[in-house]
């Protein structure tokens, strides 16, 4: 199987569990400092990983490269062309100089990774459903609840009735009462929350279109009418916040923008009227000089 070279670090992360013990040691050294790996000789990297040089070469060939020099070239291209996912866990002893860049780097990397995975054709199909909806409901539980309410804040401007719910009982009742013309957007990082899976099934059986913003091949994804696959190499260690929320917010921005653009230029005065309604609620910005 050929791998996209500009995502070679993401590919290493995805395949960590399938590597043998020696290969895993090589992967850990590379992921800990990919920039340094691009400058290392095979002897230096092998020593750092406490493995043999042939082991390093075998590891590189697993990622569709001809050997260590070729692997370093593609690794350097990955670092230049985009922000790769790098496993930089926040440690208990980290100070602000350590955990601040780690959190930002993890978030930026997750956004870049999700952007490359999200299919424009699927986005277009989701926009088709949203712009035709007579009612849109956003469902989220736990950390996805605030994301659902942010979606309501974005979409209410688009002249489509929209409500967000983060309560399981309300979600269940709304799903049961939905029908043809209703669109329910279910937001879940794991796609394994039992309540949401049941609610998605209930909504579909009631006739609603169910759009999942969730992990591909998850139980929730299987119950949805269509899925915006959001793969986030999430670090769920105790000290690391969930970057998936930021990715979900970005996906919702994409959908809201798509619906707005479909409305065409004649819709601009409506958006301006909403924006202008806030002018009297704010102080004037200070002028330079």
Q: Confidence band (pLDDT; 50, 70, 90) for 136?
A: very high
Question: What's the mean pLDDT when you consider all of the chain?
Answer: 87
List pLDDT tens digits, range 39-98. Answer: 899 999 999 999 999 999 999 999 989 999 999 988 887 776 554 444 456 677 888 988
Report helix, strand or coil for 113. helix
* Residue spans per domain, the chain: 5-81, 117-268
The pLDDT tens digits for 217-270 are 899 999 999 999 987 765 544 445 578 889 999 999 999 999 999 998 888 888
Task: Determine the pLDDT at residue 2.
Answer: 40
3-state secondary structure 83-150: CCCCCCCCCCCCCHHHHHHHHHHHHHHHHHHHHHHCCHHHHHHHHHHHHHCCEEEEEECCCHHHHHHH
pLDDT at 261: 94
39 against 176, higher pLDDT: 176
| Residue 265 CA to its chain's centroid (Å) | 30
Which pLDDT score is estimated for 1? Answer: 38
Q: Residues 139, 141, 143, 146: is their CA dihedral positive or negative?
A: positive
Q: Quick check: 90 and 99 in contact, CB under 8 A?
A: yes
Identify the CATH class of 5-81.
mainly alpha
Burial of residue 202 (CB within 10 Å: 0-12, 13-18, 19+) is buried
| Interval 268-285: pLDDT, tens | 888 899 988 988 998 988
Instruction: Provide the token pair at 86.
Output: 């790098």
Rounded to an integer, what distance in angstroms lies between the CA atom of residue 128 and that of residue 228? 13
Instruction: Retrieve residue 103's tokens.
Output: 């959190």
What the block records as the tokens of 100 is 């601040």
pLDDT above 70: percentage of residues in the chain:
90
pLDDT over threshold 70, residue 138: yes
Q: What local confidence, expressed as pLDDT, does residue 133 receive?
A: 97
Has residue 126 got a pLDDT over 50? yes
Provide CB contacts within 8 A for 268, sequence distance 6+: none
Q: Would you call 213 helix, strand, or coil by DSSP?
A: strand
Between 229 and 4, name the one with better pLDDT: 229
Q: What is the pLDDT of residue 88?
A: 56
pTM for the full predicted model: 0.72
Q: At what angle are helices 96-117 and 244-263 packed, to 10 degrees?
A: 40
Report whether 181 contacts 209 (CB < 8 A).
no
The pLDDT value given to residue 233: 62
Residue 55: HSE in the Cβ half-sphere, 13 Å Cα cutoff: 19
The pLDDT confidence band at residue 14, using thresholds 50, 70 and 90, is confident
Model pLDDT, residue 100: 84
Average pLDDT over residues 89-118: 79
CATH class, range 117-268: alpha beta
């Amino acid at each position: 199987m050929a791998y996209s070279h500009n995502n070679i670090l993401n590919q290493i992360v995805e395949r960590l569990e399938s590597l043998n013990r020696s290969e895993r040691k090589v992967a850990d050294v590379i992921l800990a400092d990919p920039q340094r790996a691009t400058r290392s000789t095979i002897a230096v990297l092998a020593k750092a990983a406490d493995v043999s040089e042939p082991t390093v070469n075998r590891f590189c060939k697993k990622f569709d490269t001809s050997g260590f020099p070729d692997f370093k070239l593609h690794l350097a291209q990955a670092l230049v062309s985009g922000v790769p996912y790098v496993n930089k866990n926040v440690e208990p002893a980290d100070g602000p100089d350590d955990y601040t860049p780690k959190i930002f780097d993890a978030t930026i990397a997750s956004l870049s990774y999700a952007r490359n995975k999200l299919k424009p054709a699927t986005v277009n199909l989701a926009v088709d459903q949203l712009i035709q909806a007579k009612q849109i409901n956003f469902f989220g539980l736990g950390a996805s609840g605030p994301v659902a309410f942010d979606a309501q804040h974005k979409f209410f401007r688009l002249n489509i009735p929209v409500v967000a719910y983060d309560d399981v009982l309300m979600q269940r009742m709304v799903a049961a009462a939905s029908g043809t013309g209703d669109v329910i957007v279910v937001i879940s990082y794991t796609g394994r929350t039992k309540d949401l899976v049941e609610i998605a099934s209930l909504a579909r059986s009631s006739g609603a279109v169910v759009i999942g913003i969730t992990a591909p091949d998850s139980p929730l994804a299987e119950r949805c009418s269509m899925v915006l696959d959001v793969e986030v190499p999430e670090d769920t260690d105790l000290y690391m916040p969930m970057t998936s929320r930021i990715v979900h917010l970005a996906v919702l921005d994409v959908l809201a923008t798509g619906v707005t653009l479909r409305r065409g230029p004649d819709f601009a005065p409506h958006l301006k009227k909403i924006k202008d309604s806030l002018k009297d609620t704010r102080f004037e910005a200070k002028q330079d000089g």
